[in-house]
Amino acid sequence: MAEVDEEVELEKVKSQGEPLLELRNLTTIFPLKRGVVQAVTGVDLTLHRGEIIGLVGESGCGKSMTMLSILRLVPYPGKIVDGKVLYKGENLLDKPMGKVRQIRGREIAMIFQDPMTTLNPVFKVGEQVRESLRIHGIVGDRRLPWPLGREIRIKEKQRVLRIMEEVGIPATKYRYHEYPHQFSGGMQQRMVIATALACEPKLLLADEPTTALDVTIQAQILDLLRKINREHGTSIILVTHDLGVTAEFCRNIAVMYAGRIVEKGTADQVIQGPRHPYTQGLLHSIPRIAGERKRIQPIPGEVPEPVDLPEGCAFYPRCDRARPECLGSEIPMREIENGRLVRCVLY
């Protein structure tokens, strides 16, 4: 029942108007000595309010770089050379850095993969959550003089405690004053999520939030993210390499390979009936716990390093249905059904 309700609600939201985030032809490159690495090539993605999208792909396929490009956090020497990042209709790539900084953390927050390296080991975890509240002046102006500033600090702390409670950290009053090493991996990840949620962002970019965690903890964190999505209507882009996670957690899936999105559709469509040979290969190569054991069929070869890729399909050398027309010119994304997009000459 709940699912149907959600569906209806989502449709309502969708019809209401413009999408929250829209990526258009986003292209990020890394000019290196040995050639130009095309980390992200022509990525189009649309995210509505309250939607959860899964971005799936193997390591090095550019999924994390897409996330960093949205927030303009691409490390040197990488740069965004083309495309648009429309957040609420405004292009973030045209904005001055100061404006982007106001959006980071407040409107769009990111959860990084490894909680141990995200949290600063020499600051108290509670203070680290409070930092984003202070920077964005959520509770009040941070530059106020002593008596007023102190009051604001107390209010901020109360808010941090509330958020910590919300993400499921017990004994918040004590844990506020602890350091990251005193937390377990799952608890650290909760703190990272708390940091991201502190300013109640509209959009959460979760870059492999559960990869470093055990399955039972992963289930807890995914439940938590789902709860946040329901209660606050936060949109989430979940980057992961685990097809199982996306299948259970996301409504829509985009599959990436060598910097490009090769297939898009709802989770059911993509998982039940994959169209692109890469997606099919990926689904054949994961062992499944399902009745009898089927032999897995690995995709031959290795993920190519996206250095000076030839025009055409990057999956060509590993594809079992490759044709001459796969190479030469860029393969466009084609809509084969309603909302179902595939980048392959077979369709």
Partner 1 sequence: MTEEQSLVEVRQLRKYFLIERSPLVKLLARKNDLLVRAVDGVNLAIGDGETVGLVGESGCGKTTLGRVITRLYEPTDGQIIFKCQDITDSRGAELLKLRRQSQIIFQNPYASLNPRKTVRQIISVPLQNRGVKDVKAREEEILYLLRRVGLSERYIDSYPHQFSGGQRQRIGIARALAMRPKFIVADEPVSSLDVSIQAQVLNLLEELQEELGLTYLFIAHDLSVIFYVSDRVAVMYLGKIVEVAKTDELFAHPLHPYTQALMAAVPMVDKKYRRKRITLKGTVPSPIDPPSGCRFHTRCFAKKGKICETEEPPLIVSDGHQVACHLFQ
The residues that touch partner 1, with contacts defined as CB under 8 A, are 58-59, 184-187, 214-220, 222-223, 241-245, 247-249, 268, 271, 281-291, 293, 295-300, 302-303
Of residues 15 and 216, the one with the C-beta less far from partner 1? 216
Please check whether residue 271 is in contact with residue 347, taking contact to mean a CB–CB distance below 8 angstroms.
no
Name the minimum Å distance from CB 191 to partner 1: 14
Report in angstroms how near the CB of residue 199 gets to partner 1 at its nearest.
27
Whichever of 287 and 324 has its CB closer to partner 1, that residue is 287
CB atoms within 10 A of CB 29: 21
Whichever of 2 and 289 has its CB closer to partner 1, that residue is 289
Strand order in 35-47's β-sheet?
35-47, 21-32, 79-87, 90-91
Q: In the bound complex, what is the minimum distance in angstroms from residue 114's beta carbon to partner 1? A: 14
What lies within 8 Å, CB to CB, of 3 at 6+ separation is: none
Q: Which is nearer to partner 1, 109 or 256 (CB)?
A: 256
For partner 1, give the closer residue by CB, 58 or 127.
Answer: 58
CB 343 within 8 A of CB 329: no
Residue 72 CA to residue 191 CA, distance in Å, equals 24
Q: Which is nearer to partner 1, 78 or 281 (CB)?
A: 281
65 vs 108, which CB is nearer to partner 1? 65
Residue 115 CA to residue 192 CA, distance in Å, equals: 6
Residue 51 phi, psi (nearest 5):
-90, 155
Distances (CA, A) of 205 to 83, 103, 225, 301: 19, 13, 11, 31
Is-contact 57 255, C-beta < 8 A? yes
CB of 200 to partner 1, least distance (A): 25
CB of 209 to partner 1, least distance (A): 13
Ranges of beta strands (E only) in 245-346 are 252-257, 260-266, 334-337, 340-342
Query: What is the smallest separation between the CB atom of 220 and partner 1, expressed in angstroms?
Result: 6
**Which residues have CB under 8 Å from 268's CB, separation 6+?**
none
CB of 137 to partner 1, least distance (A): 35
Sign, CA dihedral 238-332-310-28, equals: negative
Cβ closest to partner 1, residue 97 vs residue 289: 289
CB of 218 to partner 1, least distance (A): 7
Which amino acid appears at position 261 of this protein? I
110 bridge partner residues = 205
